[in-house]
Structure 1
Amino acid sequence: MEMRSKEEIEIGRDITATLTPLSFCLHTFYLHTHCSACFSSLPIPNPNPNPNSLFYCSPPCSAALSPLHHSSAERHLPPSAHSSHLCTALRLLLSHRPTSSSRLAGLLSNRHILTSLSVHDDVSERISVGAGAMAEAIAKQRGIPNDDAVLEEATIALSAVLTNAVEVHDNEGRALGIAVFDQIFSWINHSCSPNACYRFVLSSSSHSGEAKLGIAPHLQAMRQSELWSKYRFVCCCKRCSALPSSYVDHALQEISAITCESSGSCSKFLKDMADRRLTECIDDVILEYLSVGDPESCCEKLEEILTQGLKEHLEVIEVKPDCIFMLHPLHHHSIKAYTTLASAYKVCACDLLSVDSETDINQLKAFDMSRISAAYSLVLAGATHHLFNSESSLIASVANFWTGAGESLLSLSKSSGWSMCVNLGLVIPNLASAMKFKCTKCSLMDRFRAGMLNGQIKSADFENVSNEFLHCVSDITQKVWGFLISDCQFLQSCKDPIISSWLMSTKSSSTVDVEVCVNKTNMCYTNESENSVSMCHEQTLADHAVACIFQLGVHCLAYGGLLASICYGPHSHLVCHVQNVLEHEKNFVLYSH
């Protein structure tokens, strides 16, 4: 069974009315911190969690779920066997019984495939143990013998939940629990290149729950592995069956072997070996950063990997000793590195100011860290947007990355670090004047406001506003990019994070000629572009630098909000957050023609 649209649907339009789940349950970890009925946070978390004790945020929530909890057999589950999947399955059995075709509430259970004796693994073992615990609880609840019929009923119910349940996320991206919906939802086709998404609206809140998605789950091998391990399903969608692989799948895994003489090709075996080693290197750096807490060391090591690649000799005969394996700028490890670097540089800035915010040197260094953090945020947004142009299912990731870049740039434009110009004898930017810098080239703000009203936009209009946005941010970025990337060796290989030409090759492009001069009379950030911003004696140039960064941030933030309104709906947490940030900037003006 499947669902197909009879007509073209506008971008952002809801294709179903609000759906009520057939069954749902919080994950055990959140039972003492969230309401079991509406999944909202409890005002006061219970200090003594007990899987068999549910907590509610209000009397209506208690009245809605308490009868269901006490009527189902879940209270007879031993604490060691308690899980959201088992409880959801037991609640589902209160109102539905399996059919002879092993369906439950019209849902495919996949029971025979998941429990096949020919494939004995964690899934079949999990179903066997879980169904056994469920059958025992059902027998106690009903006062009947625990026979094969009860076990079969439990097995079908648990299989149906494992096959059809979806994670319920809050607005921070945390998976709070699971829910099972009827055929209207479950019969929507699977695709690794989807053109639709779903969101949750918690009953006690006006905010939608939305997951902050990353890039890694979009890797073809990981997709196939996850689908098989969970559902015994080999995906044959257009993206998975494409030969050769789609551009996005290729770019996310592309590694080149470069020798001293020239760039050469290498076998898939060697690339896979290099990929595994690079994975270990990057993961080790990030793990060390998270455990030790040295963001500066993390930045140095990640940038060394991005700039110099994998130099160590692989123990393979056909690899030359001078062979270097380089990550493609769009490789998923590169994107993971950009994400970490944007965060780590920001932490560096905060650490410096927390130690001594009065010292001029610390303030200037913290300002530089914030500047580079904003640059990496912009690289991350530009790189993922390039992938988004070929794979629309990345819209959630791109919305978050553009929003993050916008916030970083706005924060930089208002940084107290600009006041260092006073102590260095430099011109002080007139921030109030700079914030009134106007854009007359795009209709982005009009579209964002329209998206706030209904969350819908026609395909042609979306394409036009996206092109206008890219034209604007590319034009502004060229004026400030040399300033943003100063003193960062890796970023200097990227001439423009918005223009995709630097993303098309694994070789570093020619380094941007950046000159940095700091003394008591001037401070110049210049590159080879004649349109770049120079911050010297001229008051207007200083104002223009801040204005460009501010306006770049506004564009990125508004576009991220527009994408979020399409993906999550006009009243989602992320869209409301973007709107609040923009409204807070009382001096900003973004005009359309």
Structure 2
Amino acid sequence: MEMRAMDDVAMGQDLTPPCPPLAFSLYDSTLLSLCSACSSPLSPPPHQFPSLLPTFPINSHHVHQPSLHYCSSQCSDSDSDLHLSSAEHHLLLLLSQSHPSSYPFSGDTSDLRAALRLLRRFENLNAGCLPERNRVGGLMSNRDELMSRGEDEGNGDVLCRIRGGAKAMAAARRMRDGLDLEFLGECLLEEAVLCLVLTNAVEVQVKLGQGVGVAVYDTTFSWINHSCSPNACYRFLLPEVTQCSGEPRLWITPAATGGSSDEIEVSHNNSVGCLEYGPRIIVRSIKAIKNGEEVSIAYTDLLQPKAMRQSELWLKYRFVCRCRRCIAWPPTYVDQTLEEFSAVNLDYTNLSSDHNFYRDEAIKKLTDYVDDATSEYLLYGNPESCCEKLEKMLAHGLLDEQSEPKEKKSQNIFRLHPLHHLSLSAYTTLASAYKIRATDIFAISPDLNEHQLEAFNMSRLSAGYSLLLASATHHLFLSEFSLVASVANFWTNAGESLLSLARSSVWNSFLNQGFVIPEVSSHPSHKCCKCALVDVFENSFVHSHAQNADFEDISREFLNCMKNITPKVWGFLVRKGCYLKLIKDPIDFRWLGTVKDLEIFDCIAHLGDCDTKRSVSTSEEIFHLGVHCLLYGGFLSSICGGKHSYSTSYIRKILYGDCYPIDI
């Protein structure tokens, strides 16, 4: 159960053709807005082609309601039969009319519905033969592992979902077959296939990382193992999109075959039983891979520290990662940095292994504080309170209110390293929250200068945090190339935010000098005399075996330009009392060194407001900074997704307007 390269592979090369799914289901939250066959947005009039479903007797009542919706009669014809025959419709109907205690699980039903669809396809292929419970269709179910130790290890939620979900699946299948819903036996088959989905399914992401559902793919993809320092990634194509970079051939093979031509042909035929529609997946190299080298992808967020990654992998997949990054001792620079923080007013300034109590307590308090502040914004719609709390925590640290003052010493203060994973999470939230605040303020009264200026100030801070997030993760990326996909998204977001700020109509009121950044429509306006990013981006960067050297040259040119432009802009993006004011150099984080250098934050001087005397020149520099961020984000995206990726088209549209429509 591992895949290896069949030849030497360059960085940025498709390793598989577009592979169709064995089963795909939308999230509950997208069932009414997307086509259940092709994932396209439903256009008005809504649900023009609902699935045609019969009525079913439930508690002596006849119910007739479409469960899924399609964008066309073709999509309806291709999918509605499986929707009915798999008992997916019956499951939705059953759960909508049953008391919650009947099936003790909560949350989204996409994994249950995907399991029903998968089970139906396996039944059709195997002529009624039941699969083994620990391996179905060549895919590992992990049923015994997931269920044997769950309660002892605090994994009760997973056990409840498997047992309750399997019970609901079995009842839906009995409803489909006209049998009594009351079934007291074991649901081993349903448990096995549901565990298979939980183990092998991946979230289907479209556009810029928008999750729409889950899908299970055959062994060509599902046998690719995890690494926290992977050499490959994957992307999705919607059914109507057929482009992919490079030859549409298979460059990987199961390790056990040793590259045998007969076995490779079997691997090609693994797609028997796959859907003819639904999101297709392509695996792509993000590093050069040698012939016979194992191909790996990431199953979890690589910007999490080791302990969080290991915990998530064990709870969901039941394995302990032993990749290069995880077994490194001392820990890699990235993993060390993602966990660094300081404790102020203790006898020590660095928390070592001798002070695990303080470390564990500090991390718990800091994590809870960040989660609570984020909830203020995401759950309760209060971005202002969220911003105030996160700004305070980042700049001043978190007071340990439970620590006892001793010998007239002050209470402990825990302070995050600027590259700690909680700091990165805070930057992400602040960039979004300030953007929402700007929108809300401007909506109150778009004609009042006072509101325009306040909204503009919020936009400045949003752009500042977006830039800080991109540059901070880029600093980590220089030591761990597998972070390329995350860094590409962050640079793109930063560039979009900066260009939006530079093009704002509020510059007239803010500058009071009549200066406005014009809409950029011509090619030369994006040119930079010091780097070739525009040429690289517009030529879609055709990858070759010399790409490693090309990548280093392009990245070096980009950073040199950023180091020249950013100091001219950074002071304008921060405000009085803002944490951004404490960042000495938002591009080159080598000034931080180790956590010892955080003592600079212990003496927070008066944080004055920004200098607006240079605002006219700053607006132009913001524009050029944004262009650089977007182009570099597009360059990195081309490594992960190829020249036809959605992000590449999206960046073209931001830069050049409607003359470059989005392809995907």
TM-score range, shorter chain: 0.7 to 0.9
TM alignment of 1:65-104, pairs within 5 A: 65-77=79-91, 79-80=94-95, 83-93=112-122, 94-96=124-126, 97-99=129-131, 102-104=134-136
Query: What is the TM-score with the length of structure 2 in the denominator?
Result: 0.74
| Corresponding position: 1:116 with 2:148 | yes
Counterpart pick for 1:407 among 483, 496, 518: 496
Could you say if the C-alpha distance between residues 163 and 133 of structure 1 is closer, same or farther in structure 2, counting changes exceeding 3 Å?
same
Letter aligned with residue 313 of structure 1: E
The change in CA–CA distance for 1:76 and 1:352 in structure 2 (over 3 A counts) is: closer
| AA in 2 matched with 1:314 | Q
Change (3 A) 1:284 1:153: closer
Determine which of 229, 243, 266 is the counterpart of 2:329: 243
**Map 1:205-284 → 2, pairs under 5 A:** 218-259=304-345, 263-265=349-351, 267-284=355-372
The answer to whether residue 544 in structure 2 is matched with residue 466 in structure 1 is no
- The residue that corresponds to 2:239 in the other structure is 203
- 1:413-562 pair list within 5 angstroms: 413-420=502-509, 423=512, 427-429=513-515, 431-432=517-518, 436=525, 438-451=527-540, 458-504=547-593, 505-508=597-600, 523-524=612-613, 534-535=614-615, 542=616, 544-562=617-635
Shift of residue 514, structure 1, vs aligned partner: 8.1
The structure-2 alpha-carbon separation of the partners of 1:292 and 1:191, relative to structure 1 and needing over 3 Å to count, comes to closer
Give the Cα–Cα distance (whole angstroms) in 2 for the partners of residues 258 and 40 of structure 1.
53
Letter in 1 for 2:214: I
The letter of the residue matching 1:163 is T
Who is 2:657 aligned against? Answer: 584
In 2, the alpha carbon distance for the partners of 1:202 and 1:437 equals: 31
State the distance in 1 between where 2:300 and 2:501 align: 25
User: Is the contact between residue 451 and residue 570 of structure 1 (CA under 8 Å) also seen in structure 2?
Assistant: yes
- Counting aligned pairs with the same residue, the percent is 45
Aligned AA (1:30): T
How far apart, CA to CA, are the structure 2 residues paired with 1:494 and 1:117?
46
Query: CA offsets per residue over residues 234-282 of structure 1, 9 Å max, x none?
Result: 2222222222332222222211112288734451221221121122222
Are 2:15 and 1:20 aligned?
A: no
Contiguous gaps of at least 5 residues in structure 2: 52-63, 96-102, 104-108, 244-278, 282-298, 660-664
Answer yes or no: is the 8 Å Cα contact 2:405–2:411 preserved in 1.
no
Counterparts of 2:394 and 2:502, CA distance in 1: 28
Q: The residue matched to 1:366 in structure 2 has which SS?
A: helix
CA RMSD of aligned residues (A): 3.8
Query: What residue identity is the alignment partner of 2:470?
Result: A
User: Is the contact between residue 573 and residue 610 of structure 2 (CA under 8 Å) also seen in structure 1?
Assistant: no
Give the number of the structure with larger relative contact order, counting CA–CA contacts within 8 Å between residues 6 or more apart.
Answer: 2
State the AA in 2 paired with 1:58: S
In structure 2, the partner of 1:170 is 206
SS at match of 2:25: strand
2:193 to 143, 152, 157: 157
Match of 1:378 among 467, 470, 488: 467
User: Residues of 1 paired with 2:568 and 2:280: CA distance?
Assistant: 38
> How many residues are matched?
561
Q: Deviations over 1:289-308 (max 9, x none)?
A: 44564544433332221111
SS of 2:540's equivalent in the other structure is helix
User: Which shifted more, 12-21 or 274-283?
Assistant: 274-283
Aligned CA distance change for structure 1 residues 153 and 328 (closer, same or farther; 3 Å): same
Counterparts of 1:433 and 1:75, CA distance in 2: 50
Distance across 1 between alignment mates of 2:432 and 2:531: 30
2:114–2:197 contact (8 Å) kept in structure 1: yes
Aligned to 2:639: 566
Of 139, 146, 163, 1:128 maps to 163
Q: Which amino acid aligns with 2:340?
A: E
Give me the whole-angstrom Cα distance separating, in 2, the residues matched to 1:65 and 1:353. 45
Shift in Å, 1:578: 0.4
Task: Please state whether the residue corresponding to 2:230 is helix, strand or coil.
Answer: coil
Deviations, residues 462-517 of structure 1 (Å, cap 9, x unaligned) = 22211111111111112222233353542222122111124434333687998769
Structure 1 residue 299 corresponds to structure 2 residue 314 = no
Residue identity in the other structure for 2:429: T
| 1:287 partnered with 2:375 | yes
SS at match of 2:231: coil
Normalised to the residue count of structure 1, the TM-score between the two structures is 0.83
Q: Distance in 2 between matches of 1:233 and 1:306?
A: 35
Which of 57, 82, 89 is the matching residue for 2:71?
57
Shift in alpha-carbon separation, 1:262–1:365, aligned structure 2, 3 A: farther
- Matched to 1:569, the amino acid is G
1:189 maps to 2:225: yes
1:527 matched to which residue of 2? none
* Cα pair 1:84 1:177 within 8 Å, conserved: no
Deviation track 1:48-86 (CA, whole Å, cap 9, x = no partner) reads: 998973322212222222333343344554622663243
Look up the equivalent residue of 1:508 and give its one-letter code: I
How many angstroms does 1:433 deviate by? 11
What is the alpha-carbon distance in structure 2 between the residues aligned to residue 260 and residue 118 of structure 1? Answer: 39
Q: Is the 8 A contact 2:133 2:188 kept in 1?
A: no
Greater CA deviation, 467-476 or 63-72? Answer: 63-72
How far 1:572 moved relative to its partner?
2.7
Distance 1:580 1:445, change over 3 A: same
In structure 1, C-alpha distance between the alignment counterparts of 2:624 and 2:545, rounded to whole Å:
25
Rate the CA distance shift 1:502–1:79 in 2: closer, same or farther, 3 A.
Answer: farther
Query: Does the CA-based 8 Å contact 1:69-1:91 persist in structure 2?
Result: no
Contact 1:455-1:570 within 8 A present in 2 as well: no
Q: 1:341 to 1:31 in 2, by over 3 A?
A: closer
Identify which range, 40-49 or 492-501, moves more after superposition.
40-49
SS of residue paired to 1:508? helix
CA offset digits 1:418-438 (Å, max 9, x no partner): 213664xxx544645999485
Structure 2 residue matching 1:239: 3-state secondary structure:
helix
CA–CA separation in structure 2 for the residues paired with 1:382 and 1:422: 28
Distance 1:140 1:150 in 2: 17
For the Cα contact (< 8 Å) 1:409–1:549, is it kept in 2?
yes
Q: CA deviation at 1:385?
A: 0.9
Give how far 1:168 is off: 1.5
Secondary structure at 1:199's aligned position in 2? Answer: strand
1:115 is paired with a residue of what secondary structure? helix
- Distance change in 2, residues 1:340/1:433 (3 Å): closer
Contact 1:12 1:567 in 2 (8 A): yes
Greater displacement, 4-13 / 254-263? 254-263
For 2:439, the equivalent position in structure 1 comes to 350
Retained in 2: the 8 A contact 1:258–1:324? yes
Structure 1: runs of 5 or more not aligned: 525-533, 536-541, 587-593
**1:528 aligned partner:** none
Return the letter of the residue paired with 1:485. Answer: V
Q: CA deviation at 1:143?
A: 8.6
310-319 or 107-116: bigger deviation: 310-319
